[in-house]
Chains A and B, each alone.
Chain A
């Protein structure tokens, strides 16, 4: 991915040198032309066309913000309820993600989702220990959300 972006920058500079105008607009024109060239040549690269990954990252960010707002409404309800009738607990969650930065990102996402907080990660980085504020009625739902997060992260790193 980084290689494709670097190539796109170089193509933009080549365009600036060809048209002998060193301004931001000509850089942008060159960048867009280079994007078209890379799109046409995408079968020669080992990984995907990099723009799809940028879109996946943006949709992950939007998911992040949505979950943050949902988490806050959830915490609000828990705190302002007159009776403290929730049942907290720690459960182990097995992740399929391999790289360090993916596990870090997943842990941050889980921490900002409704009612969950990452407590610890096992030495082989396969199991996340998650503290849930209301365990019994949420186990399945939490797993669902988690799978959608994991999928979104895989979409970025694939």
Chain B
């Protein structure tokens, strides 16, 4: 029983570390703000959630401490990370950061026209 639990905890910690590593690779490697934002806001979210879940399971099963703060932290990260990604992308666009050359479409430049027509 404890053996299986140890493997599950190890899996969560390793998966979280791996995802965080890949997220930082993505930030280095991808070409523009928006695609980097994809890597940072998705992989980092799940990576940190996995690490926190592993920590929670370790303290609960091995030491018998039920730490509800860690669970709250998982919920808070789950709720706030996409909002953070959205706000960074929006601020970048409105301050004029350029899309990558190979981008095929940009509907957002029509937003002001659309707003004027429908307000």
Contact = CB atoms under 8 A, between A and B. Distances in A.
Given A69-B46, A111-B41, A124-B119, A79 B25 contact: yes
Contacts of A21: none
B29 to A, nearest CB: 6
A90 B111 CA distance: 12
Size category, A interface: 35 or more
Contacts, number: 116
Contact of B42 (A71, A123, A135): A71
A87 B89 contact: no
A86 B32 CA distance: 12
Contact of B105 (A69, A91, A115, A133): A91
A25 to B, nearest CB: 21
Contacts of A87: 102-104
Interface in A94-145: 107-108, 111-112, 115, 117-120, 122-124, 126-127, 129, 131, 133, 135-136
B17 interface: no
Interface of A: 68-69, 71-72, 75-76, 78-80, 84, 86-92, 107-108, 111-112, 115, 117-120, 122-124, 126-127, 129, 131, 133, 135-136
Closest 10 CB pairs of A and B: A89-B105, A111-B82, A92-B107, A79-B26, A89-B104, A123-B115, A129-B108, A108-B82, A90-B108, A87-B104
10 contacts: A76-B22, A79-B26, A84-B29, A88-B32, A88-B34, A88-B102, A88-B104, A91-B107, A92-B110, A126-B118
